């Protein structure tokens, strides 16, 4: 059974969202969507190195209003690159509350998407957000 599945589109606009899209063939991409404060845009990065805290390569900007990724001049990827297509596909499925095809998963890393603290209760792990952040951000 796959755990830490993401089902709420709000997860991606928490400010510290880290998640992996994978399939049963062994393909996977780990992304980070974050920002430092509410005045900044959401930056998207793809994990490209061994350090899963800092080895992210800039991909573009996340727009929570339409759940899309916009590439910019500084983007290291093209619209046709597989990592861009995968994240767009994943965001679209979750935004439309569609089921994933058999063998695919979109999982968070077990930390709150807003504050980055480890999630410890089953409800928080399921939601991808801790109870304090959930209440503060209108999830409950």
Per-residue pLDDT tens for 19-63? 999 999 999 999 999 998 888 999 999 999 999 889 999 999 999
Q: Where are the alpha helices (DSSP H) in the chain?
A: 82-95, 122-127, 131-136
Contact (Cβ atoms closer than 8 angstroms) between residue 32 and residue 131: no
* pLDDT score recorded for residue 70: 97
For 125, what's the count of Cα atoms within 13 Å in the CB-facing half-sphere? 7
What is the average per-residue pLDDT within 124-131?
A: 91
What is the average per-residue pLDDT within 117-132?
A: 91
* pLDDT score recorded for residue 34: 95
What are the Cα distances from residue 95, in Å, to 37, 74, 76, 110, 116? 23, 26, 25, 21, 22
pLDDT band at 133 (very low <50, low <70, confident <90, very high): very high
* CA gap 68, 54 in Å, rounded: 23
DSSP secondary structure code for residue 9 in this structure = G
Q: How does pLDDT run across 74-118, given as a tens digit for each residue?
A: 999 999 999 999 999 999 999 999 989 999 999 999 999 999 999
* pLDDT score recorded for residue 37: 85
β-pair partners for 107: 5, 20
Of 125, 130, 128, 106, nearest in space to 10 by CA = 128
pLDDT band at 64 (very low <50, low <70, confident <90, very high): very high
* pLDDT score recorded for residue 1: 46
* pLDDT score recorded for residue 3: 64
């Amino acid at each position: 059974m796959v755990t830490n599945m993401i089902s709420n589109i709000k997860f991606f606009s928490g400010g510290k969202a880290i998640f992996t899209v994978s399939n049963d063939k062994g393909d996977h991409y780990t992304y980070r969507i974050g920002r430092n404060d509410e005045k900044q845009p959401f930056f998207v990065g793809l994990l490209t190195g061994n350090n899963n805290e800092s080895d992210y390569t800039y991909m573009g900007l996340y727009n929570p209003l339409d759940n899309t990724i916009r590439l910019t001049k500084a983007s290291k990827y093209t619209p046709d690159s597989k990592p861009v297509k995968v994240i767009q596909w994943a965001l679209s499925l979750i935004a439309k509350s569609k089921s994933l095809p058999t063998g695919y998963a979109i999982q968070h890393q077990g930390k709150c998407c807003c504050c980055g603290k480890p999630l410890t209760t089953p409800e928080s792990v399921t939601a991808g957000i801790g109870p304090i952040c959930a209440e503060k951000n209108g999830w409950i």
